[in-house]
Amino acid sequence: MSRVHDVAVVGGGLLGAAIAWGLARLGQKVIVLDEGDVARRASRANFALVWVQGKGLGLPPYARWSVEASRQWPTLAEALREQTGLDVHYQRPGGFHICLSEAELDARRQLIEQMYAQGAPNDYGLEMVDRSELEKALPEIGPDVVGASYSPHDGHVNSLRTFRAFHAGLRDFGADYRASHDVDRIEPQPGGGFVLHTSGGRIEAAKVVLAAGNGNERLAPQVGLFAPMMPTRGQIIVTERVKPFLHYPLGTLRQTDEGTVMIGDSKEEILDDRETRVPVTTVMADRARRTFPLLNRLNVVRTWSGIRVMTRDGFPIYDQSASAPGAFVACCHSGVTLASMHALELAPRIRDGGLGGPPSSFSARRFADAPETLLNADAAV
């Protein structure tokens, strides 16, 4: 069987594009199979934080993976700029999680204690900041703000431009990008390799990487993998552009490089992304204006809702298949934060044929109902 493609990446969102870009950069012949424009894309709805604080409670390797992602982001941003001329505007001034009541402050303090108790990454630096300290960094905060937590690793980026830069880079590397190639069925071939049946025709590749977001749940079992998902919906409010006043990203509020203020970040168990709900945006807007009363004067120019890619336990899943060698899966909520790791760390391992190392901490073997066909990545190194 002739295999034109070394790797078929299923999914052209931020996660698939990052992995595909990383592979193409290493000289792999990559084909990206994407849906059309109507796809529900988390990559176009996200909040664009590169966020570390609070992630990984219950799974310490996730905290380390996130810190490492933040450390590697400048390398990724520079590589994209050099190749495509696009400045994705990555900034890492550190970020705050704002607390609007003593109860919120206590909960935050507890979370931080737990993070340290389970073994925080080196130089984690996550700490509580009292109001007077906070005022020095955020002079515009309102009287309801009682304090915050701060992590030096937190930052933000222009995620739409990052998405565009990955795709521009893919084209530059000569990768094959196919829109409207919804993957229906994947057949592992005897003797290795895969045939992918798509709405745009039949594709062959030596390896396959599932990066289809919530769609991984359906595709994974076809190649002996497992991707239990539990997506949620989030809404975002965007204001008109204002002169820069906010020099740090907050967990639910940030000013973009172009001046708009983005307000998040809601969570609903609804999966219809064609509507927004005022009761939800009202709460978001209210918290935002309690945080910065001056926001009250701004006009809102857009609100939208989007579906989050979310695994059942919220942690990433990276796996390779024992029953269909060469099949990999990658699922995670944080396609923006972890883009650096997907492009720079995961891609080389996929090229070399074995996950091993840090990604092996994220096998779906942690789920009680996982199948036997997940390769023990530690053994594969």
Partner 1 sequence: MTPMFSHIPADQRPTLEIFVDGQSVQARRGDTVAAALLASGLDVRRDSAVSGVPRLPYCMMGVCFECLVTINGVGNRQGCLIPVEPGMQVEIQRGKRELGK
Residue among 2 and 299 whose Cβ is closer to partner 1: 299
Q: Is 297 in the site for partner 1 (CB under 8 A)?
A: yes
Q: How far is the CB of 258 from partner 1 (least distance, A)?
A: 6
Q: Is 283 in the site for partner 1 (CB under 8 A)?
A: no
Q: Is 136 in the site for partner 1 (CB under 8 A)?
A: no
CA 112/CA 110 separation, integer angstroms: 5
Angle at 206 between CA 32 and CA 182, to 5 degrees: 35
- 159-173 and 60-84 helices cross at what angle (nearest 10)? 60
Q: Which two tokens stand for residue 138?
A: 């955020």
Is the distance from CB of 275 to CB of 305 less than 8 angstroms? yes
Residue among 153 and 254 whose Cβ is closer to partner 1: 254
Q: How far is the CB of 160 from partner 1 (least distance, A)?
A: 14
DSSP character at residue 63: H
Work out the number of other CB atoms within 10 angstroms of the CB of residue 118: 13
Q: How far is the CB of 132 from partner 1 (least distance, A)?
A: 22
Q: Is 364 in the site for partner 1 (CB under 8 A)?
A: no
Residue among 197 and 241 whose Cβ is closer to partner 1: 241
Of these, 78, 102, 113, 140, which contacts partner 1 (CB under 8 A)? 140
Which of helix, strand or coil describes residue 236? strand
Residue among 78 and 140 whose Cβ is closer to partner 1: 140
Residue among 140 and 352 whose Cβ is closer to partner 1: 140
Q: Is 294 in the site for partner 1 (CB under 8 A)?
A: yes
Q: Is 177 in the site for partner 1 (CB under 8 A)?
A: no
Q: How far is the CB of 260 from partner 1 (least distance, A)?
A: 9
Q: Which two tokens stand for residue 14?
A: 């931020």
Binders of partner 1 among 183-242, rule CB under 8 A? Answer: 240-242
Of these, 82, 258, 269, 369, which contacts partner 1 (CB under 8 A)? 258
Residue among 295 and 346 whose Cβ is closer to partner 1: 295
- List the beta strands (DSSP E) in 111-231: 127-130, 147-151, 155-156, 176-178, 183-188, 194-198, 201-210
Residue among 107 and 294 whose Cβ is closer to partner 1: 294
Residue among 240 and 275 whose Cβ is closer to partner 1: 240
DSSP string covering 7-59: EEEE--SHHHHHHHHHHHHTT--EEEE---TTS--GGGT---EE--TTTTTT-
Q: Is 372 in the site for partner 1 (CB under 8 A)?
A: no
Cα→Cα distances 101→105, 148, 257, 280, Å: 6, 10, 30, 20
Q: How far is the CB of 297 from partner 1 (least distance, A)?
A: 7
Q: Is 259 in the site for partner 1 (CB under 8 A)?
A: yes
Residue among 261 and 346 whose Cβ is closer to partner 1: 261
Q: Which two tokens stand for residue 6?
A: 């070394």
Q: Which of 341, 366, 359 is nearest to 226 (CA)?
A: 366
Binding mask 84-113 for partner 1 (x = CB under 8 A): ------------------------------
- 159-173 and 14-25 helices cross at what angle (nearest 10)? 40
Q: Is 295 in the site for partner 1 (CB under 8 A)?
A: yes
Residue among 148 and 295 whose Cβ is closer to partner 1: 295
Q: Is 299 in the site for partner 1 (CB under 8 A)?
A: yes
Is the distance from CB of 352 to CB of 65 less than 8 angstroms? no
CA 122/CA 119 separation, integer angstroms: 9
Q: Is 245 in the site for partner 1 (CB under 8 A)?
A: yes
Q: How far is the CB of 295 from partner 1 (least distance, A)?
A: 8
Per the DSSP assignment, residues forming a β-bridge with 155 are 50
Where on the chain is the footprint of partner 1 (CB under 8 A)? 140, 240-243, 245, 258-259, 292, 294-295, 297-299
